[in-house]
Amino acid sequence: MTKTILEFEKPLIEIENEIQEMELLNTTGEKDLSSEIEKLRNKSHDMAIKINKKLSRWQRVELARHSDRPHSLDYIERIVTQWNELHGDRYFGDDHAIVAGIGHIGEFKAAIIGQQKGRSTKDNIYRNFGMASPEGFRKALRVMKMAEKFNIPVVSFVDTIGAFPGIEAEERGQAEAIARNLFEMSKLRVPILIIVIGEGASGGALGVGVGDRLLMLENTWFSVISPEGCASILYHDASKKELAAESMKVTALDLLEMGIADRIIEEPLGGAHRNYEKMAHIIKDVIIEELHKLIDKDKETLISERITKLENIGSWG
Amino acid sequence: MAWFTRKSKNIKTSNEDKKEYRDGLWIKCNNCRQILYQAELTRNNHVCYKCNYHFRIPANKYIELLLDKGFKTQFEDITPRDPLKFKAQKKYKDQLEAAQKKTGIKDAIRVATGSINSIPAIVAVMDFSFIGGSMGSVVGEVISRSAEQARQEHRALIIVSASGGARMMEGAYSLMQMAKISAKLGQLSDAKIPFISVMTDPTTGGVTASFAMLGDINIAEPGALIGFAGPRVIKQTIGADLPEGFQRAEFLLEKGFLDLIVPREQMKIKLTELLGVLHGQTTYSA
Ligand SMILES: [Zn+2]
């Protein structure tokens, strides 16, 4: 499946190619290579673990935006049954950078929001590279308010490098749209699960990112600005993105330590892009498990716990 | 409206409108370039008496402008930290210290409780001269506590914004302050206590995309730059110059995101009128 290979993935891919060749030989050839293959498999497994352990913050960022990484709809397809995407904000238009809809996840009915990136150039233009416009945030809010009305929980997949910085987005109130979502999501009277599946930058991520539980896949990042953005502003040099990622402490583990993320969701060895099915399966199980914890809470408790969690975030003396 | 064209030019060219109000006998107006007598400018609430350009002013001056005599300052003991041990040439800790020395405040905000022409209020004012009025944990905590106090004591909440947005040196902590403050404003709103947002030059980024846009009434000073993305970022993205007056208060009023543009000298009386309806003593009974 992998088309793009990151630098640190190369040794792993080399072994895997070797295994493939041997397997081919094994079926056609006369020599039994099974034990050699088994050895190589173990080697590749150990190597994947070793690579994962040594990943720098920037390398996690690279994985989070890996061009083969599954996006919201890849998960929705695999997790949500009777999925119906719903369109439009009822004011201006339908933003393709955010998808919203309803369906079932396991035994739960759910409203699902997903920030959607493209894969091909054409698809990326259609999705505006996952950068939402005000209509996207307003569509998401409309669907969330409907979820509140019919008492169904909300699951929101975060994956964006930021809200779209363009003239039209400003004209239609990008700031107001994000602000309104923060305000409404903080007191929406149904459970909200936030799952960061790739990148999560700035108000663009937070605009669909306020909820009861913030879950992050292992190789994701979430911060106030992208490492490149931070580097170009603070260091006047966008190429110092690695330093910026280190400085801002952007990874899932960092966010867990900061008390912002509640849980890290483990990815298949080597990253989510190496096994869509397995990743989707893990996410589905986690959603069901987490919803069970939230679904029976009375509304006042749910909201007061949500706000208390936010109140405690920060560092001051 | 001379300031208007002048400031539009500034988007394209220079850092001129970054100049802040400074003490001295004479000062050159950032907009009309005329030489102004400092004392006269001060008497005029730091608004150019030749062209109506609104100079940026320290937070305490805005508090004095809005609240009746006898107000009480709040939350001055809340101090910033360097939770991420942020790596930069100029250490965040040193940057904080320098800003504290320069402004005499602990972080980019001052709060006072008191009254606005006898209407109970709590006023929180951001200070742009403190690291660009950026919002970190302290700004978030102070505004959250202000909203909580407004709710407990039935005081109208006024937030005067002046900010470049969230403070990068606090990473995701600073981002989450947007959600934290918005949540507290939600509680205030449910308690039916009015919140009026006053935007001054500039109000951008995470501040605009959270509390600044959430007022029951949104007000701006004339000519204030207000937006989500900064003009430079947008210019880079689209690769073209921005239209005249883009992201200025007058533009936002036209686009439907502001209720009123109010010159500084009229701010107190306008707030009094508005709060008189939303938070006054007389009640309408059906
Ligand atoms: Zn002037």
CA distance B189 to B198: 17
- pLDDT score at B9: 39
Which chain B residues are Cβ-neighbours of A306 within 8 angstroms?
183
Q: Tokens in use for B42?
A: 């001060």
CA angle A306-A308-A313, nearest 5°? 100
- Contact B178/A223, CB-based, under 8 Å? no
CB contacts under 8 A, B 68-127 vs A, are 78-81, 83-84, 86-89
Residues, Cβ < 5 Å to ion ligand 1: B 29, 31-32, 48, 50-51, 53
Q: Give the mean pLDDT of A47-68.
A: 95
End-to-end CA distance of chain B: 45
Q: Which of A198, A210, A213, A193 is nearest to A267 (CA)?
A: A198
B126: part of which helix (H) or strand (E)? strand B119-126
Q: Give the mean pLDDT of A278-307.
A: 98
pLDDT tens digit sequence for B64-82 = 999 999 999 999 999 999 9
> How much of chain A exceeds pLDDT 70, in percent?
99
C-beta of residue A214 within 8 angstroms of C-beta of residue B172 = no
A108 phi/psi in degrees, rounded to 5:
-100, 140
CA angle B80-B82-B84, nearest 5°? 140
Q: Tokens in use for B200?
A: 């001054």
CA distance A229 to A253: 21
pLDDT tens digit sequence for B226-257 = 999 999 889 988 888 999 999 999 999 999 99
Is B232 near chain A, with CB under 8 Å?
A: no
- Which one of 3.30.1490.20, 3.90.226.10, 3.40.710.10, 3.30.70.1880 gives the CATH number of domain A61-312? 3.90.226.10
Strands of the sheet with B217-220, listed across from one edge: B72-74, B109-116, B119-126, B156-163, B195-203, B217-220, B260-261
Distance from CA of A292 to the nearest CA of B (A): 24
Overall pTM > 0.90? yes
Across A92-106, A139-153, A255-269, B6-20, least confident range: B6-20
Distance B207 CA to ligand 1 centre (A): 27
Distance from CA of B34 to the nearest CA of A (A): 33
Confidence of residue A27 (pLDDT cuts 50, 70, 90): confident
- pLDDT score at A181: 98
Which chain B residues are Cβ-neighbours of A178 within 8 angstroms?
209-210, 228
User: Exposed, middle or buried: residue A37 (CB in 10 Å: 0-12, 13-18, 19+)?
Assistant: middle
CA atoms within 13 A on the CB side of A231: 14
pLDDT beneath 50, residues of chain B: 1-18, 286
CA distance A136 to A99: 8
B76 contact partners, CB below 8 Å, separation of at least 6 = B105, B106, B110
- pLDDT score at B7: 41
Best of A240, A248, A253 to disrupt the B interface (most B CBs within 10 Å) is A248
Is this prediction's ipTM beyond 0.90? Answer: yes
Task: Nearest by CB to A165, from B172, B234, B243: name it.
Answer: B234
- pLDDT score at B282: 54
